[in-house]
Structure 1
Amino acid sequence: MSRLAGIARHGRPRGPMETLDAVEITVDGGLAGDFRGSVKPGGRGRRQVSLIEAEDWNAAMAELGHGLEWWHRRANLLAEDFDLPQIAGTRIRIGEAVILEITQECTPCSRMEEVAPELKTALTPGWRGGALARVIAPGRIVVGDTMAVLD
């Protein structure tokens, strides 16, 4: 069964990642306490939440011979046994209430090279670096919540 396997946030650019067991998600603010979630005036909130597949992260780590924790990717949510949609506009439900809409691929940046040499390259193919999303419906999510693609 597809599930939410991890939650992380960072309160400022280049700030430390904080892992959580649960978090509130709002339409205007994304993950509570995460600096990227706020929709700027006139903005569309395309980068409110970032998601990565556990399987993709593990594959990248195996290629590089590393065992770094997933949050080093600086993503907000870790999906387990879940194939992240690679089509903008696709909606995902997490838990009972939260709905996210995929907006674009989360392309790996040069910051990944600071984490581990060649990590940017390992995360580049096939959306392996994850997806970005906007919040459609707010709520509270908890590690272990189910995840599903909505029709």
Structure 2
Amino acid sequence: MPFPFFGDDKSKIAQMLATLPQTGRLEWIGLRPARREPLLAVPEATAETDRHLAGDHARVKAGGKRQVTLLQHEHLTAVAGFLGLPEALDPGRLRRNLVVSGLNLLALKNRQVQVGDEVVLEITGECHPCSRMEEELGPGGYNAMRGHGGLTARILRGGVLRLGDVVRVLPTAPAALPADA
């Protein structure tokens, strides 16, 4: 008897990939006032449709795939552990805009999420660590961040983001599986 999810019927896998019933929570918002400056933690920010977060130095062209960056809150403790630190890292050190708890962000690639009542983001890809992680976290910082760098997103519908906002995955039809699945 074939394994129930990998037999000839791949539609079950596609259905599982499309099913994300849980919600998350916006735990932290950070803006970069200027290149190489520390991020400012803010209680709310305005997401500008197809642009960026107001007050963030990154000026992204319309249609850009990296208009905002997201990080998994649960990874703050994991990365600290890889570095031998006793407690979770301050999210500002990792240079991402939004920190979300309660959702597996990697499961959201190519999906849309709504943050609060207004903002809709399309998750566009992974946000790999850069060499700045060695500067910020010390030797091994780059490797500690590998697999934990977060995701990039496009702002499909702007509005105000607030700490504590619910992050919910928007429904989608089950997608066809990639050829290598």
Same fold by TM-score, threshold 0.5 exceeded? Answer: yes
Match of 1:130 in 2: 150
Match of 2:31 in 1: 9
The CA deviation at 1:81 is: 1.4
Considering fraction of residues, name the structure with more strand: 1
Equivalent residue in structure 2 for 1:35, among 46, 49, 57 = 57
**Matched-pair contact (CA < 8 Å) for 1:97–1:139:** yes
**Matched-pair contact (CA < 8 Å) for 1:102–1:133:** yes
Moved more, 98-107 or 60-69: 60-69
Q: Which runs of no fewer than 5 residues in structure 1 stay unpaired?
A: none
RMSD: 1.5
Moved over 4 A (4+): none
Q: Secondary structure at the match of 2:60?
A: coil
The CA deviation at 1:45 is: 1.6
Match of 1:55 in 2: 74
The CA deviation at 1:39 is: 2.9
Identity level (%): 36
Match of 1:139 in 2: 159
Match of 1:113 in 2: 134
Q: Which runs of no fewer than 5 residues in structure 2 stay unpaired?
A: 1-22, 172-181
In terms of Rg, which structure is larger? 2
Equivalent residue in structure 2 for 1:91, among 108, 112, 122 = 112
Whole-angstrom CA distance in 2 between matches of 1:54 and 1:28: 25
**Matched-pair contact (CA < 8 Å) for 1:4–1:142:** yes
Question: Number of residue pairs matched?
Answer: 146
The CA deviation at 1:150 is: 1.0
Equivalent residue in structure 2 for 1:73, among 69, 94, 98 = 94
TM-score (norm. length: structure 1): 0.90
Q: Secondary structure at the match of 1:44?
A: coil
**Matched-pair contact (CA < 8 Å) for 1:85–1:102:** no
1:101 aligns with 2:130: no
TM-score (norm. length: structure 2): 0.75
Q: Secondary structure at the match of 2:74?
A: helix
